[in-house]
Chains A and B, each alone.
Chain A
Amino acid sequence: MSTATLPATQTDAGSAIYVPSPEVIGAVLAPGERPPRPSALSASVTFGWRAMLKIKHVPEQLFDVTAFPLIMTLMFTYLFGGALADSPTEYLQFFLPGIMVTSVVMITMYTGVGLNTDIEKGVFDRFRSMPVWRPSALVGMIFGDVLRYILAATVILVVGLILGFRPGGGVMGVLAGIGLLVIYSFAFSWVWTFCGLVLRSEKSVMGVSMLVLFPLTFLSNVFVDPSTMDGWLQAFVAINPITHLVDGVRSVMAGAPDAMAIMLILAESVAFVAIFGTLTMMRYNRR
């Protein structure tokens, strides 16, 4: 007890050992003027930079957005190509925009999984005790994820072009299609940030996302023409937001934009951010 602490002089032995100096610490504590608070956008971009740094230090996390879409595209093109169309190449003209949507929308769930583990770490306490725009930590995180979505879409596009995908909309059509998909995915990510905050573990976030995403992506117009389905299933497919997204992306890439589908996509995106963004922030502030 009284002998538990070594006298200070003993700890100073050795030249490489750090010795705190009150003068030096005092000097860094007196930096003069405090800078003005950053804007909401600037704070979000800073958090986006954090996401970039994490990718730089842990590049393995890009596996999800490269290998997974690649396998999905190859697998389904050759599995269904012969049965549903005359050849894989022909099927690809119909299928590629759909599998691009499926893959990217599935990847959005990692936003929730990532947040669920990230928020447990002490650094989030620091972020939340700082006077910055509250949603910026999450918005920045999704900014980082948007980059992953673009990467995944690019991988699929390249694979598709190699396999013989020839979109009628040309370069502009394809870029517009990817743009719609990325906007939608940004909005859809807020569903998962909410799940990431509400659910207890990474595993449960994963489980819930799968439960939602599998029916949404498969019971849609991604793989087959809905006119071949039973009436009740057609009804579900028609109201499925993934169907609208695929319609929009497909039409834009084909060079014949479907205005109705594009309007729906944008309206649904706004709705996702409004509803799930608000729920997420309520939950985030309450923790």
Chain B
Amino acid sequence: MRRSDGTDLAIEAAGLVKTFGDTRALDGLDLRVPAGSVYGLLGPNGAGKTTAVRVLATLLRADGGQARVFGHDVLREADAVRGRVSLTGQFASVDEDLTGHENLVLLGRLLGYGKAAAGERSAQLLAAFGLTDAADRQVKKYSGGMRRRLDIAASILNTPELLFLDEPTTGLDPRSRNQVWEIIRSVVAHGTTVLLTTQYLDEADRLAGRVAVIDQGRVIAEGTPGELKASIGSGSVHLRLRDAAQREQAQKVLTDALDTVVAAEADPVALTARVTGNGNESAASEQASRALHALAEAGIVVDDFSFGQPSLDEVFLALTDRPTESTVDDPDAELEAIR
């Protein structure tokens, strides 16, 4: 694996600011991404994830702050950065009018491969990504998963040292998502650093060594997925009652059993509670089963009970004291502003 200048940070950003009109898409973003792993940027729509990626990939000039990629300034040494990174954007970064093969040959030629070498490289990549049969089909006729795979194949054509993946699994079916996850693991195993943006805590948890939670253009929490979960409680309980009339009573029983705030959902039979277990996962699950037991004893009929990882909504509630909805009034605002 190639490593530049002996630095072990792939990305070092300090105080990045970017405004679009009245919107502060980045509001003093700090980031330190160690080389050789997957780093997750987690946040809702409009949090500034895409803007951050575009600044780091030299596509957008920040209004303030500075950023270095493998020690190279993204503004002053943009070309050195471009030679080391690859970008897979949120929307297909391939040409939909062209075939898969043509796309890869085009990009190969732009990287300096000769005609024959570019063709060979394209065939190799298409085979590795299971797209050989679709090589001569226009990309607009590909499924979402195939398009994503081609997109990632195009991004590793130049064997990048840092790969930006902007919401690579948004809108994919579960199987395609699993394939993308496997591909990301393979790419990292080879030594490429991956900066992954995602809205899903689950995804960050499975892939990322470290995660930064972003909200309103700022990092509001940073750490390993385990540290993050521990900091906000290890799990959450969701339940649905048979009878809405029993909800108030159930809320009381649960509050006593779990010793935490139990929230009533918009659905008249649903309740949600965060289980802290004081950062200890088995203590949390014990608490949850105790709660279920207490409900049964009180004669409350439960139709559906689940105990699981906190969702992004819950992470946000815990970190910002407000639900994600308030930040997604206009989910396209950030993208619109970029255009």
> Are A22 and B202 in contact, with the CB atoms below 8 A?
no
Instruction: Give residues 150-186 of B contacting A (CB, 8 Å).
Output: 154-156, 158-159, 174-175, 178-179, 182-183, 185-186
Cβ B87 vs Cβ A129 within 8 A: yes
Per-residue CB contact flags for chain A residues 6-42 toward chain B (1 = under 8 Å, else 0) read: 1010010000011111101111111100111110001
Within 8 A of B (CB), among A165-208: none
A162: CB under 8 A from chain B?
no
Minimum CB–CB distance from B282 to chain A (whole Å) comes to 15
A212 within 8 A of B: no
Interface size counted on chain B using CB atoms at 8 A: 66
Q: Is residue B102 contacting chain A, with contact meaning CB distance below 8 A?
A: yes
Known: A11-B175, A129-B57. A22 touches B89 (CB 8 A): no
Prevailing SS type, chain B contact patch: mixed
Instruction: Indicate whether B308 reaches chain A with its CB closer than 8 angstroms.
Output: yes
Residue from A6, A20, A121 in contact with B96 in the complex, judged by beta carbons closer than 8 Å: A121
Q: Is A210 at the interface (CB under 8 A from chain B)? A: no
Instruction: Name the B residues within 8 Å of A286 (CB-CB).
Output: 61
CA gap between A204 and B339 in the complex, in Å: 15
A-B contact count (CB 8 A): 159
> Contact between B202 and A43 (Cβ–Cβ < 8 Å)?
no
Q: Are A122 and B90 in contact (CB under 8 A)?
A: yes
Report the bound CA distance from A168 to B88 in whole Å: 57
Within 8 A of A (CB), among B120-174: 121, 124-125, 127-130, 138, 149, 154-156, 158-159, 174
A16 to B259, CA, bound (A): 51
A123 contacts B121, CB within 8 Å?
Answer: no
Task: Establish whether residues B130 and A122, one from each chain, have CB atoms under 8 Å apart when the complex forms.
Answer: no
Which of the candidate stretches B36-44, B78-86, B321-329 sits at the interface with the other chain?
A: B78-86
Q: Which residue of A29, A127, A129 has the most chain B CB atoms within 10 A of its CB atom?
A: A129
Stretch at the interface among A51-59, A77-85, A86-94, A246-254: A51-59
CB distance from A26 to the nearest CB of B (A): 5
Interface flag for B33 (CB, 8 Å)? no
B127 surroundings in chain A (CB, below 8 A) = 24
Once A25-B187, A28-B156, A29-B190 are accepted as A-B contacts, the answer to whether A132 and B59 lie under 8 Å apart by CB is no
Tell me whether A22 and B92 are in contact (CB under 8 A): no
Are the C-beta atoms of B109 and A46 separated by less than 8 Å? yes
Contact of A260 with B by CB under 8 A:
no
Q: Kindly identify which residue among A4, A26, A128 contacts B190, using a CB–CB cutoff of 8 Å.
A: A26
In the complex the two chains form, is A53's CB within 8 Å of B102's CB? yes
In whole angstroms, what is the CA distance A19 to B306 when docked? 31
Interface size counted on chain A using CB atoms at 8 A: 51
Q: How far is the CA of A11 from the CA of B275 in the complex (A)?
A: 32
Q: Provided the pairs A25-B190, A126-B154, A129-B57 are in contact, do residues A121 and B112 lie with their beta carbons within 8 angstroms? A: no
Interchain nearest-CB distance for B145 vs A (Å):
8
| Least Cβ–Cβ distance between A130 and chain B, in angstroms | 6
**Beta-carbon contact of B183 and A37 below 8 Å:** no
A5 CB-CB contact with B under 8 Å: yes
B114 proximal to A (CB < 8 A): yes
Q: When A6-B178, A54-B98 are in contact, do A130 and B111 touch as well, CB less than 8 Å?
A: yes
Contacts from B to A (Cβ < 8 Å): 54, 57-61, 79, 82-83, 85-87, 89-98, 102, 106-107, 109-114, 117, 121, 124-125, 127-130, 138, 149, 154-156, 158-159, 174-175, 178-179, 182-183, 185-187, 189-190, 192, 202, 206, 306-309, 311, 339
Instruction: State the A residues within 8 Å of B (CB).
Output: 1-6, 8, 11, 17-22, 24-31, 34-38, 42-43, 46-47, 49-50, 53-54, 57-58, 120-123, 125-132, 286-287
